[in-house]
């Protein structure tokens, strides 16, 4: 923290600020300048409320210096986190790109199997599908619930795809953890800290989507919540933020990919389906996501988007998904990545991913 004094601040005011800082258990370092004095604060163990200082007489501004996240940071773990899926060759965060595809919501066994077959054949390693849908309207389709989870478990059995699906509260978290390979926390719940903590006790990887107006720091702090409870397998996902623009449903902020990679060791995916809300923009933005350096993409695919019960207009057709995979494959080497189509399942008993010990964990 740095306290900037007003140009006309008196020596007494400067002294009073230093005293208050030390009173709070920190060290004050006055730094006289030509026009004004600044005071450095060190020893920020715990937390110092900016406002405690800001309102003192003679103070112009208080500036925070130290970042508040720890476990998500490259300072605490230098090398990239790679999520492994025991019994398979699938990874998220390593050299291999992760491709997650499937319908917005599971609507029936037939629909799920038809789409799963298509995306598996095209080369996806992960199948996504909503069992519990957070819908803006209480009168809209809310998902098939546990039945959808059972269908997805069958999909895994039959096609080898690993399953990604969203939990929206404590009850559904327990169910999702039981059935899925990756637990998704949606954008609207990114700051549902109670849910994040509970996800921190799960033994499955968590895919955390960026909130609609979350800053980079808030996204990292949400991941920190999960990690601080002991679950270090967190995957971040950019899915567009809310801005003034109206030509897409959200504004896909691809620059957050290199920004996350600079600060954090966690993998980051991009969801161009929610990120644009428009079918005709999913392919261009998927290419861009891979080109910018993302660890993979998550896209909505539907065999009959005209009849989809939710988010039809942003779902692509299976043929478009084939094209997407082809394009991604061509871009991959430019960013030193590979695309391994589909998933190889070993015949192992272990189904749950191992908890990799985190170096910064107590």
What part of residues 7-26 is at the interface with a second copy (CB under 8 A)? 7-8, 20
Residue closer to a second copy by CB (options 162, 279) is 279
Q: Which of 13, 80, 154, 327 binds a second copy (CB under 8 A)?
A: 327
Region at 273 (left for phi over 0; alpha for psi -120 to 50; beta for the rest): alpha
In whole angstroms, how close is the CB of 79 to a second copy at the nearest point?
Answer: 15
Q: Which of 106, 124, 185, 288 binds a second copy (CB under 8 A)?
A: 288
CA 351 to chain centre: 23
Q: Which of 79, 138, 349, 362 binds a second copy (CB under 8 A)?
A: 138
In whole angstroms, how close is the CB of 216 to a second copy at the nearest point?
Answer: 4
In whole angstroms, how close is the CB of 99 to a second copy at the nearest point?
Answer: 16
User: Coil, strand or helix: which one is 259?
Assistant: helix
Residue closer to a second copy by CB (options 255, 344) is 255
CB 302 within 8 A of CB 288: no
Q: Which of 13, 16, 18, 40 binds a second copy (CB under 8 A)?
A: 40
Which of these ranges, 82-90, 121-129, 151-159, 188-196, lies near a second copy under the rule CB under 8 A? 188-196
Residue closer to a second copy by CB (options 22, 157) is 22
Q: Which of 153, 175, 292, 345 binds a second copy (CB under 8 A)?
A: 292
Q: How far apart are CA 344 and CA 360, in angstroms?
A: 32
Residue closer to a second copy by CB (options 259, 345) is 259
Phi and psi of 46, rounded to 5°? Answer: 70, -140
What part of residues 247-266 is at the interface with a second copy (CB under 8 A)? 247-248, 251-259, 262
Q: Does residue 242 interact with a second copy by CB under 8 A?
A: yes
Q: Which of 13, 16, 29, 84 binds a second copy (CB under 8 A)?
A: 29
Helix axis angle, 216-228 to 256-263, nearest 10°: 50
Residue 347 to residues 158, 244, 344, 350, 351, Cα–Cα distance (Å): 14, 51, 10, 9, 10
Which of these ranges, 86-94, 114-122, 157-165, 212-220, lies near a second copy under the rule CB under 8 A? 212-220
DSSP-assigned letters across all residues of 70-132: -TTBTTT--SPP-EE-TTBS-EESSSBPEEEEE-SB---HHHHHHHHHHHHHHT-SEEE-BSS
Token pair 């399942």 is found at: 345
Total length of the chain: 362
Q: Does residue 237 interact with a second copy by CB under 8 A?
A: no
What part of residues 49-108 is at the interface with a second copy (CB under 8 A)? 49-52, 54-56, 61, 63, 65-66, 68-70, 75
Q: Does residue 313 interact with a second copy by CB under 8 A?
A: yes
Beta strands across the sheet bearing 2-5: 27-32, 37-42, 2-5, 59-63
Q: Which of 121, 135, 153, 345 binds a second copy (CB under 8 A)?
A: 135
Residue 269 to residues 71, 105, 235, 252, 280, Cα–Cα distance (Å): 19, 20, 7, 12, 20
Which of these ranges, 44-52, 80-88, 148-156, 158-166, lies near a second copy under the rule CB under 8 A? 44-52
What part of residues 108-127 is at the interface with a second copy (CB under 8 A)? none
Q: How far apart are CA 24 and CA 22, in angstroms?
A: 5
Q: Which of 128, 204, 274, 279 binds a second copy (CB under 8 A)?
A: 279
**Residues touching a second copy, count (CB under 8 A):** 114
Residue closer to a second copy by CB (options 139, 346) is 139
Which of these ranges, 11-19, 174-182, 221-229, 352-360, lies near a second copy under the rule CB under 8 A? 221-229
CA 335 to chain centre: 21
Dihedral sign, Cα of residue 305, residue 306, residue 307, residue 308: positive
């Amino acid at each position: 923290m740095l306290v900037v004094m007003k140009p006309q601040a008196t020596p007494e005011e400067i002294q009073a600020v230093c005293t208050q800082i030390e009173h709070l258990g920190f060290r004050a370092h006055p730094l006289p300048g030509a026009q004004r004095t600044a005071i450095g604060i060190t020893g920020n163990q715990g937390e110092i409320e900016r406002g405690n200082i800001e309102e003192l007489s003679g103070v112009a501004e208080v500036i925070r210096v130290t970042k508040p996240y720890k476990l998500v940071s490259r300072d605490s773990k230098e090398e990239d986190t790679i999520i492994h899926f025991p019994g398979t060759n699938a990874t998220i965060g390593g050299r291999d790109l992760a491709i997650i595809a499937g319908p917005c919501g599971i609507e029936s066994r037939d629909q799920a199997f038809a789409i799963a077959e298509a995306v598996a054949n095209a080369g996806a390693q992960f199948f996504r599908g909503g069992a519990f849908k957070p819908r803006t309207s209480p009168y809209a389709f809310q998902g098939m619930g546990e039945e959808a989870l059972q269908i997805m478990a069958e999909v895994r059995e039959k096609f080898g795809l690993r399953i990604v699906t969203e939990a929206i509260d404590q009850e559904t978290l327990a169910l999702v953890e039981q059935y899925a390979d990756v637990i998704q926390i949606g954008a609207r719940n990114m700051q549902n800290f109670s849910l994040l903590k509970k996800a921190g006790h799960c033994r499955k990887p968590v895919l955390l989507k960026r909130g609609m107006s979350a800053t980079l720091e808030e996204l990292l702090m949400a991941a920190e919540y999960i990690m601080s409870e002991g679950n270090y397998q967190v995957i971040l996902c950019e899915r567009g933020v809310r801005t003034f623009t109206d030509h897409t449903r959200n504004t896909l902020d691809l620059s957050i990919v290199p920004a996350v990679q600079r600060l954090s060791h966690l993998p980051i995916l991009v969801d161009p389906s929610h990120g644009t809300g428009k079918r005709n923009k999913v392919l261009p933005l998927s290419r861009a996501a891979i080109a910018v350096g993302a660890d993979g993409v998550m896209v909505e695919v539907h065999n009959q988007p005209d009849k989809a019960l939710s988010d039809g207009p942003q779902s692509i057709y299976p043929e478009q998904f084939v094209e997407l995979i082809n394009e991604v494959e061509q871009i991959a080497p430019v960013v030193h990545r590979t695309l391994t189509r589909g998933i190889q399942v070993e015949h192992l008993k272990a189904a749950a991913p191992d908890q990799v010990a985190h170096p910064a964990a107590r």
